[in-house]
Amino acid sequence: MNTQPITSAAPLPILDIIKEALAKQHYQMVYQPQFGFADGRLKGFEALVRCQSPRFGMISPADFIPFAEESGDIIELGHWITRQSLLDLKNLRELSGLPLYMSINISPCQFQAGDVYEHVMKTLMDMNLPASAVKLELTETALIQNPSMIGRTFKAFQRDGVQVWLDDFGTGFASLNLLREFKIDGLKIDKSFVDGLHTSDDDFTICSAIIAMAQRLGLNIVAEGVETEPQMHILSQLGCNSVQGYLTGRPTPLDECSHFWLENRFIN
Ligand code: C2E
Ligand code: CA
Ligand code: CA
């Protein structure tokens, strides 16, 4: 995997790679499971995109998404991600017999392009999936870029039963104000706070405060980046709703996802 910044001395021709990947279907989706603390059962997945370039190997989304946003290619890529991950969700629900959801990352540009609502709702309809089968993940940065337009789209999604979640909570700006202005369904506690949960008093205090606040506001909480049993244990004690991280399951291609409901992977 390329771990070098794209802007380093020998940059990858990233825009060519993005366009080639779109044209030649070098993108693929992987799915990371989320388990509920209350019963230890699989609840759903987060959809994460990968780019496997034949010339440059695996490129991380953290590297190519910002360039796809800048060039506008994120719109076409976002459409593909929504369609592919909901098609795969349909398979996962049929195979498992569970009412699983798919949590999809939406870039601010997709909101600004104006068709994200129509596209998601049409794809749900094409796949014959209920609105409750999809959750959208947005970052704080996305919300503050165009609050009035995003607010309208938000309302439309929620009126139709699609949940909207705040990703990387606590790492952006204006978090508390956003909670007041938008009717958010849930928060994802960022990995950077979870990392030090069992070793740093400050991180413990921040996580407990986020969870207590979310509970009082009636919001659900997923902790992400959970890698160790002590982190898992503390999150469970604090009343966190769901867990996502390498401890309970790494991002996995569709054909390997059945492990997540066939084996009990939940450690508590
Ligand atoms: P994110 O939305 O915060 O996604 C979580 C990232 O944390 C994923 O990295 C996931 O593989 C990683 N992760 C999960 N659990 C653990 C853990 O226990 N330990 C560690 N070290 N990492 C963990 P990934 O897949 O490389 O994605 C990076 C970022 O790229 C995402 O951060 C998201 O901002 C963006 N991204 C990924 N897929 C998509 C997509 O389909 N659409 C959009 N717009 N952005 C995406
Ligand atoms: Ca996310
Ligand atoms: Ca995140």
pLDDT digits over 65-107, tens only? 999 999 999 999 999 999 999 999 999 999 999 999 999 999 9
pTM of the entire structure? Answer: 0.94
Using CA atoms, how far residue 36 sits from 17, 33, 116, 236, in Å, is: 38, 10, 28, 10
What's residue 8's pLDDT? 44
What's residue 268's pLDDT? 54
Residue 5 domain-assigned?
Answer: no
Q: Is 222 in the pocket of ligand 1 (CB under 6 A)?
A: no
What's residue 2's pLDDT? 44
Q: Rounded distance, CA 8 to CA 10, Å?
A: 6
What's residue 51's pLDDT? 94
Residue 266 domain-assigned?
Answer: no
Starting from the CA of residue 48, give the closest ligand.
1
Q: Which of 15-24, 53-62, 92-101 has the highest mean pLDDT?
A: 92-101
Q: Is 73 in the pocket of ligand 1 (CB under 6 A)?
A: no
Residue 4 domain-assigned?
Answer: no
Residue 6 domain-assigned?
Answer: no
Closest alpha carbon to 138 in 182, 192, 79: 182
Q: How confident is the model at residue 177 (pLDDT cuts 50, 70, 90)?
A: confident
Q: How confident is the model at residue 11 (pLDDT cuts 50, 70, 90)?
A: low
What's residue 54's pLDDT? 86
Residue 265 predicted with pLDDT over 60 = yes
- DSSP letter string over the chain? -B-S-TTSSS---HHHHHHHHHHHT-EEEEEEEEEETTT--EEEEEEEEEEEETTTEEE-HHHHHHHHHHHSHHHHHHHHHHHHHHHHHHHHHHHH-S--EEEEE--HHHHHHS-HHHHHHHHHHHHT--GGGEEEEEEHHHHHHSHHHHHHHHHHHHHTT-EEEEEEETSSS-HHHHHHHS---EEEE-HHHHHTTTT-HHHHHHHHHHHHHHHHHT-EEEEE---SHHHHHHHHHHT--EEESTTT---B-GGGTTHHHHS-----
Q: How confident is the model at residue 256 (pLDDT cuts 50, 70, 90)?
A: very high
Task: Give the residue, by CA position, lying nearest to ligand 1 atom 11.
Answer: 251
| Percent share of the chain, pLDDT over 70 | 94
What's residue 179's pLDDT? 82
Residue 147 domain-assigned?
Answer: yes
For 196-227, write each residue's pLDDT tens digit: 999 999 999 999 999 999 999 999 999 999 99
What's residue 18's pLDDT? 85
Length of the chain: 268
Q: Which of 49, 50, 64, 105 to mutate to test the pocket of ligand 1 (most atoms within 8 A of CB)?
A: 105
Q: Is 251 in the pocket of ligand 1 (CB under 6 A)?
A: yes
Which ligand 1 atom is nearest residue 168's CA? 3
Q: Rounded distance, CA 131 to CA 163, Å?
A: 8
* Residue 92 structure tokens: 């996962």
> pLDDT higher for 260 or 267?
260
Residue written as token pair 């160790």: 228
Pairing of strands 186-189, 220-224: parallel
What's residue 237's pLDDT? 96
Q: Rounded distance, CA 223 to CA 200, Å?
A: 17
Residue 28 domain-assigned?
Answer: yes
Average pLDDT over residues 21-41: 94
Domain CATH for 190: 3.20.20.450
Residue 153 domain-assigned?
Answer: yes
Q: Rounded distance, CA 186 to CA 135, Å?
A: 10
Q: Rounded distance, CA 44 to CA 60, Å?
A: 23
Task: Give the residue, by CA position, lying nearest to ligand 1 atom 28.
Answer: 62
Give the structural domain span for 253.
11-261
What's residue 9's pLDDT? 44
Residue 13 predicted with pLDDT over 90 = no
Average pLDDT over residues 183-193: 93
Q: What is the total count of domains within the chain?
A: 1
Residue 3 domain-assigned?
Answer: no
What's residue 267's pLDDT? 65
What type of residue is 226? V
For 120-139, write each residue's pLDDT tens digit: 999 999 999 999 999 999 98
What's residue 233's pLDDT? 96
